[in-house]
């Protein structure tokens, strides 16, 4: 099984799970990225039963609408019952690095609202210590140099993601070479830097369930 097959398998498992949770009030949060895209594809199979979704990016909203799946604004959703999204890295505490696709801020907002956050990923994303994957930070453009200098003070190597503008009109700085031994602390420290919109550490609000695809089969971790 290659990585794509593993992504498909976890996306299928998440769609099957969401299907069992549907009622007339269910709003599904939908993530961004290649794993989430498979999930969207599988949602299409029972779109007639879906009342509403909220999308974590413009790309996801476009994909959902193209399949005829209703998309509403988060502000119009009374609640988000379940949020399904991928990750760039995860640890055994279900803390994550997200934002490889640049959608971290909207992803974090939906995760904050969601009653349940189901993370889906191929098994290679599970690590002992977060940080091998460069940690994305969304930044207000005029604060780029300031935020970069503050990141250096925290011990990281900031790299501007050239040519990327987020759905919110901001830039991304990726933090390289940082072994994240205390994800909750670093998440808060980064949020304190003026000009940072948000960062890709999902530690204060980790996933509730992590479905991993491995060659031996699916592995589910829960908090």
Q: Which of 10, 32, 54, 105 binds ligand 5RP (CB under 6 A)?
A: 32
For 11, 36, 111, 209, the CA distances from 171, given in Å and listed in that order, are: 29, 23, 21, 30
Catalytic residue among 107, 138, 150, 187: 107
Closer Cβ to ligand 5RP, 86 or 148, answer by number: 86
Beta strands, E only, the chain = 27-30, 52-55, 80-85, 89-90, 96-97, 114-122, 135-139, 157-160, 171-176, 196-199, 201-202, 209-214, 217-222
Please report whether residue 88 would count as binding ligand 5RP according to CB under 6 A. Answer: yes
Q: Which of residues 99-158 bind ligand 5RP (CB under 6 A)?
A: 99-104, 107
Region of 97-105, 160-168, 177-185, 211-219 interacting with ligand 5RP (CB under 6 A) = 97-105
Q: How many residues bind ligand 5RP (CB under 6 A)?
A: 18
Contact status, residue 153 vs residue 34, Cβ threshold 8 Å: no
Assess 31 for contact with ligand 5RP (CB under 6 A). yes
Residues 56-85 that bind ligand 5RP (CB under 6 A): 85
Q: List the Cα angle 182/191/78 in 5-degree steps.
A: 105
Query: 33, 131, 134, 158: which one contacts ligand 5RP (CB under 6 A)?
Result: 33
What's the CA gap between 19 and 149, in Å, rounded?
47
Candidate residues 13, 18, 35, 54; the one interacting with ligand 5RP per rule CB under 6 A: 35
Dihedral sign, Cα of residue 184, residue 92, residue 152, residue 175: negative
| Catalytic-residue membership of 216 | no
CA-to-CA dists, residue 149 to 58, 135, 138, 187, angstroms: 31, 16, 15, 17
Ramachandran assignment for 33, one of left (phi > 0), alpha (psi -120 to 50 degrees), beta (any other): left
Could you give the CA distance from residue 151 to residue 71 in angstroms, rounded to a whole number? 36
Q: Is 213 an interacting residue with respect to ligand 5RP (CB under 6 A)?
A: no
**Residue nearer to ligand 5RP on the CB measure, 101 or 213:** 101
Query: Which one of 20-28, 70-78, 86-94, 137-145 is the stretch in contact with ligand 5RP (CB under 6 A)?
Result: 86-94
161-200 mask for ligand 5RP (x: CB under 6 A)? ----------------------------------------
Q: Does 206 bind ligand 5RP (CB under 6 A)?
A: no
87 contributes a contact to ligand 5RP by CB under 6 A:
yes
Residue positions annotated with a catalytic role: 107
């Amino acid at each position: 099984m290659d990585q794509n097959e593993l992504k498909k398998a976890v996306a299928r498992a998440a769609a099957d799970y969401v299907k069992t949770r549907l009622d007339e009030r269910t709003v599904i949060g939908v993530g961004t990225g290649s794993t989430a895209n498979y999930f969207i594809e599988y949602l299409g199979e029972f779109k007639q039963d879906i009342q509403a979704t909220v999308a974590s990016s413009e790309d996801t909203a476009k994909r959902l609408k193209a399949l005829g799946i209703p998309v509403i604004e988060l502000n119009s959703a009374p609640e988000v019952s379940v949020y399904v999204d991928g990750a760039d890295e995860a640890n055994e505490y279900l803390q994550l690095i997200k934002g490889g696709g640049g959608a971290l801020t909207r992803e974090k907002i939906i995760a904050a609202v969601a009653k349940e956050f189901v993370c889906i990923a191929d098994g290679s994303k599970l690590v002992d210590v977060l940080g091998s994957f460069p940690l994305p930070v969304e930044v207000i453009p005029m604060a780029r140099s300031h935020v970069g200098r503050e990141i250096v003070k925290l011990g990281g190597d900031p790299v501007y993601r050239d040519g990327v503008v987020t759905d919110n009109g901001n830039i991304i700085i990726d933090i390289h070479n940082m072994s994240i031994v205390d994800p909750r602390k670093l998440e808060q420290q980064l949020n304190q830097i003026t000009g940072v919109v948000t960062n890709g550490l999902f530690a204060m609000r980790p996933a509730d369930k992590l479905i991993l695809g491995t060659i031996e089969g699916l592995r589910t971790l829960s908090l």
